[in-house]
Chains A and B, each alone.
Chain A
Amino acid sequence: MSSIFWIIIAGAVLTFLTRIGGHLVLSRFERIHPRVEVALNAVPAAVLTTLVAPAAATADWRGLLALAFAGLVALRFNALTMFIAGAAAIILMRQFS
């Protein structure tokens, strides 16, 4: 088997461990402390922001404008509308670069 095959298998096993591991560790505690609860509620916004912010910081002005536009659209419309608006904005602007 090629090295690619083993990289994929090892990567898949470790990825599965990240997906089940947090639960396995936390389920050992009978009740969740309020502060842990606050921390868990903060997880999605905290993690997902780290996937956006560095991309915004390193994007060209067109990318930044598309992100800002999509963010405004998100205030009024659902996620799919927002995504299509943002994607349309960046594709249109890149046509004239």
Chain B
Amino acid sequence: MDEQIYQRESIPVNAGTRSSQFWEGFAKGLPIMIASAPFGLLFGALAVDNGFSVFEAVLMSAAIFGGASQMVGIELFGQHIPAWLIVFSIFAVNFRHVLYSAAVGRRIGHFKPLQSALSYFLLTDPQYAETEKRAESGKAVTFVWYLGVATPIYVMWVTEAWIGGLFGNLISDPHALGIDMLLPIYFLGLVMGFRKRDNWAAIVIASAVVSIIAYKTIGSPWHVSIGALAGIIVAVIVAKPERARGKR
């Protein structure tokens, strides 16, 4: 498995022209943009509702660019919690990116330093998932392709904070629109997309059980880091990479 991935990486497949790569990435970014639109709008609306100005809502979407952490931030701000604790909670929710960052470094290690810095800034959950899928399919992960994925997502995310902020009152009944379930449904889709990987079921079950326990005992947002760690530990335990290597 490991060797196969590296072999494919060492023989770069002809990736086409730069503009065709951009639009190839753009096509991957488009459904993500549509799926995240309700959350971008909802964020803008809730931020203004919790005392943010429209400018501050837009600034937060532009500077942090992480939906779940932004939601946690405005939620806590509405509860008059100390500023350092709000910042720390944003950090805790986004801590999972450390894992994406370590994993995606294998895929985008050839980017130039500034391209690299911009790419890590744009490294969201779906961006990570698309980059992994692209690399696994054997196609070259270029900076232009990466920007193609990120551009529609980022531009619309920032725009939606502005629109949501202006028309915050349009969503009169979030519950009836199932807003609370849209994010879990969306993330479930990403989880299902990885189901062909080794030991997927064991990882998912371990992460699910431990994250639920952590959520009910320690509380949010730590269930993310703790649950993920459980899934990763199970993967390392059940994988036995040496034996698998001997067989192939």
Residues of A whose CB lies within 8 Å of any CB of B are 2-12, 14-16, 18-27, 32, 34-35, 37-59, 63, 66-67, 70-71, 74-75, 78-80, 82-83, 86-87, 90-91, 93-95
Residue of B nearest to A68 (CB): B188
CA distance A58 to B223 in the complex (A): 14
Interchain CB contact under 8 A, B181 and A66: yes
Of residues 8 through 53 on chain B, the ones whose CB sits less than 8 Å from some CB of chain A are 31, 34-35, 51-53
Determine whether the beta carbon of A74 is less than 8 Å from that of B189: yes
Q: Tally the A-B contacts, defined by beta carbons under 8 Å.
A: 288
Asked whether A7 lies within 8 Å of B73 as measured between CB atoms, the reply is yes
Interface residues of B in 106-160 (CB under 8 A from A): 106, 109, 117, 120-121, 123, 125, 128-129, 132
User: What class of interface size applies to chain B in its complex with A?
Assistant: 35 or more
Inter-subunit contact A91/B178 (CB<8 Å):
yes
Nearest opposing residue in chain A for B88, CB measure: A14
CA distance A9 to B91 in the complex (A): 12
- B163 contacts chain A at the CB level, 8 A cutoff: no
Q: State whether B73 touches A67 (Cβ < 8 A).
A: no
Assess A15 versus B94: contact at CB under 8 Å? Given A32-B106, A38-B236, A87-B182: yes
Which residues on the A side are within 8 Å of B194 (C-beta)? 44-45, 48
Whether B197 and A41, one on each chain, are in contact in the complex, defined by CB atoms closer than 8 angstroms, is yes
What distance in Å separates the Cβ of A53 from its nearest Cβ neighbour in chain B? Answer: 4
Q: Which of A23, A51, A82 has the most CB of B within 10 A?
A: A51
Q: Is there a chain A Cβ closer than 8 Å to B170's Cβ?
A: no
Provide 11 A-B residue pairs closer than 8 Å at the C-beta atoms, listed in order of the A residue. A8-B60, A15-B91, A34-B241, A38-B235, A38-B241, A40-B99, A42-B231, A47-B100, A53-B208, A53-B215, A54-B223
Q: For A87, what are the chain B residues with a Cβ–Cβ distance below 8 Å?
A: 178, 181-182, 185
Contact with A along B53-87 (1 / 0, CB 8 A): 10010011001111011000100010000010011
Nearest 8 A/B pairs, CB to CB: A46-B231, A22-B101, A90-B178, A42-B235, A22-B102, A50-B227, A12-B63, A23-B105
Given A42-B231, A57-B215: A70 and B91 interface contact (C-beta under 8 Å) = no
Chain B residues, CB < 8 A from A14: 87, 90-91, 94
Interface centre among A2, A27, A83 (most CB of B within 10 A): A83
Residues of B within 8 A of A16 (CB): 120-121
Contacts of A24 in B (CB 8 A): 101
CB pair A23 B95 closer than 8 Å: no
Q: A48 to B185, Cβ gap below 8 A?
A: no
Measured CA separation A74–B212 after assembly (Å): 23
- Give min CB distance, A96 to chain B, whole Å: 10
Contact B34 A80, beta carbon cutoff 8 Å: yes
What is the minimal beta-carbon distance from A94 to any residue of chain B, in angstroms?
Answer: 5
Nearest chain-A residue to B191 (Cβ)?
A48
Q: Which residue of B lies closest to A64 (CB)?
A: B181
**Contact indicator B178/A55 (Cβ below 8 Å):** no
Q: Once bound together, how far apart are the Cα atoms of A80 and B73, in whole Å?
A: 28
